[in-house]
C-alpha cells in the first residue's frame, strides 16, 4: 500500500540521518575541530547527542508519516473520488491537472466542513500526499481563485515543503533534547539531580519556544514560494484575488483569529499581531500580495 511505502521511506531516511550523525559527529569532534584549535572532546557526550537526535528526528518523522491520517481524524471531511458537483469538479480537476503537469502521483482530494476559507496540503512525500479545502473556501471564492489556492497547495507538495519543515523540526527538537539532557547530566554528576531535572524542564520549554519561532519563520518563507508557484500556474492575478477575498471574509467576520481561533497561525488568513506574529506559519496577506505584485 502507498501509505506503508511512504512510512517505510521515511523510516529509512530517519535511519540514514542517524547513521550519518553517528559517523560525522565523531569525525567533527575528534579530527576537524582540533585542526582549528577547537577541542570539545571532553565536553561533548556523543551518546546524548545520538539519543537526542533519535528523539528529535523520530518524533518529527513519525508525525509526518501519519500526517494525512491525523488530518482526516481531526476534521469532518469527505474524499472526492468521483466529483458530483461543479465545485467538486473544479477542485478535483485542478489538482489532477497540476499533478499531471508535474508528473507526480495525484494527491488525495478532500473537502471538509468549515465556514472559514482555508486549504492545506500534507503528507510524507510529493507522491504520497493529500490536499484539502474547506467548504468556506468554495463558497467565498470564485472558481479561478479556488484554482489558484489549489495551485498554491500543490506548490507545497511539489517543493517538498512538508518534508523540509520536518527536517528543520527534527534539528530543532534535537537541539532542545540535547540541552535538556546535558543539564540533567551536569547536575547529576554534582549530586543535584532534582535541581538538574527542574532546570532542564524550564530550559526545554524556553528553547522550544525559540525553536518554534525558527520553524514558523521557515514556514512563512515557504508560503511566498508557494504563492509564486500558483502565479506561474494560473497567473498572479488569480492568487492575488484569492488572498483579497479571504481578507474580506476575515474582516467581515469581525473577529481576530489570534485571540479567538486556536488554529489561526496555521491558516491562510495569517491574522495575527504583535509577538504572536513570530509564531504565525503564514505571512500577512498584505505582504503576500505585495510579493505577488512584484513578480
Look-up of cell digits 507526480: 104
Query: Using CA atoms, how far apart are residues 121 and 130, in angstroms rounded to an integer?
Result: 6
Give the contacts of 227 (CB within 8 A, at least 6 positions apart).
152, 155, 239, 288, 291, 292
Evaluate if residue 81 carries a pLDDT over 80: yes
In a domain, 120, yes or no: yes
In a domain, 93, yes or no: yes
In a domain, 225, yes or no: no
Query: Using CA atoms, how far apart are residues 136 and 61, in angstroms rounded to an integer?
Result: 31
**Lowest-pLDDT range, 50-54, 148-152, 157-161, 168-172?**
50-54
Query: Mapping DSSP to helix (H, G, I), strand (E, B) and coil, where does residue 108 land?
Result: strand
- pLDDT tens readout for residues 97-132: 999 999 999 999 999 998 889 999 999 999 999 999
Domain containing residue 124: CATH number: 3.30.2010.10
| In contact, 131 and 107? CB cutoff 8 Å | yes
- pLDDT tens readout for residues 53-77: 777 887 788 888 888 988 888 888 8
Confidence of residue 145 (pLDDT cuts 50, 70, 90): very high
Evaluate if residue 257 carries a pLDDT over 50: no
In a domain, 237, yes or no: no
Query: Using CA atoms, how far apart are residues 92 and 80, in angstroms rounded to an integer?
Result: 7
**Lowest-pLDDT range, 39-43, 153-157, 228-232?**
39-43
- pLDDT tens readout for residues 164-219: 888 888 888 888 888 888 888 888 878 888 888 888 888 888 888 888 888 889 98
* Number of domains the chain contains: 1
Catalytic residue flag (residue 153): yes
Query: Using CA atoms, how far apart are residues 74 and 64, in angstroms rounded to an integer?
Result: 15
Evaluate if residue 260 carries a pLDDT over 50: no
Query: Using CA atoms, how far apart are residues 130 and 112, in angstroms rounded to an integer?
Result: 12
- The active-site residue, picked from 153, 189, 256, 293, is 153
Confidence of residue 3 (pLDDT cuts 50, 70, 90): very low
21: left (phi over 0), alpha (psi -120 to 50) or beta: alpha
In a domain, 131, yes or no: yes
In a domain, 8, yes or no: no
Query: Using CA atoms, how far apart are residues 241 and 247, in angstroms rounded to an integer?
Result: 10
Residue-number span of the structural domain to which 99 is assigned: 74-159
Query: Mapping DSSP to helix (H, G, I), strand (E, B) and coil, where does residue 282 land?
Result: coil
In a domain, 90, yes or no: yes
Q: What is the mean pLDDT of residues 14-38?
A: 69
Give the contacts of 19 (CB within 8 A, at least 6 positions apart).
none
In a domain, 89, yes or no: yes
Amino acid at each position: 500500500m502507498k501509505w506503508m511505502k511512504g512510512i517505510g521511506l521515511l523510516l529509512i531516511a530517519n535511519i540514514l540521518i542517524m547513521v550519518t550523525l553517528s559517523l560525522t559527529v565523531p569525525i567533527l569532534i575528534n579530527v576537524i575541530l582540533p585542526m582549528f584549535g577547537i577541542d570539545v572532546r571532553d565536553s561533548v557526550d556523543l551518546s546524548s547527542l545520538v539519543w537526542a537526535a533519535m528523539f528529535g528526528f523520530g518524533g518529527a518523522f513519525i508525525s509526518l508519516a501519519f500526517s494525512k491520517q491525523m488530518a482526516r481524524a481531526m476534521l469532518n471531511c469527505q474524499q472526492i473520488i468521483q466529483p458530483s458537483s461543479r465545485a467538486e469538479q473544479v477542485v478535483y480537476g485542478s489538482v489532477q491537472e497540476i499533478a499531471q503537469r508535474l508528473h507526480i502521483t495525484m494527491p488525495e482530494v478532500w473537502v471538509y466542513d468549515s465556514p472559514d476559507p482555508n486549504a492545506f496540503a500534507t503528507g510524507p512525500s510529493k507522491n504520497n500526499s493529500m490536499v484539502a479545502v474547506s467548504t468556506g473556501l468554495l463558497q467565498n471564492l470564485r472558481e479561478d481563485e479556488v484554482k489558484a489556492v489549489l495551485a498554491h497547495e500543490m506548490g507545497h507538495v511539489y517543493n517538498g515543503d512538508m518534508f523540509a519543515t520536518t527536517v528543520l523540526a527534527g534539528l530543532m527538537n534535537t537541539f532542545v533534547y540535547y540541552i535538556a539532557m546535558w543539564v540533567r547530566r551536569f547536575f547529576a554528576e554534582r549530586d543535584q539531580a532534582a535541581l538538574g531535572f527542574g532546570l532542564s524542564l524550564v530550559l526545554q520549554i524556553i528553547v522550544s519556544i525559540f525553536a518554534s519561532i525558527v520553524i514558523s519563520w521557515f514556514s512563512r518563507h515557504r508560503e511566498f514560494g508557494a504563492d509564486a508557484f500558483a502565479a506561474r500556474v494560473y497567473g498572479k492575478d488569480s492568487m492575488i484575488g484569492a488572498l483579497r477575498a479571504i481578507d474580506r471574509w476575515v474582516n467581515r467576520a469581525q473577529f481576530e483569529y489570534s485571540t479567538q481561533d486556536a488554529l489561526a497561525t496555521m491558516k491562510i488568513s495569517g491574522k495575527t499581531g504583535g509577538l504572536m506574529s513570530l509564531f504565525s506559519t503564514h505571512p500577512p496577506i498584505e505582504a503576500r500580495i505585495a510579493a505577488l505584485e512584484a513578480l
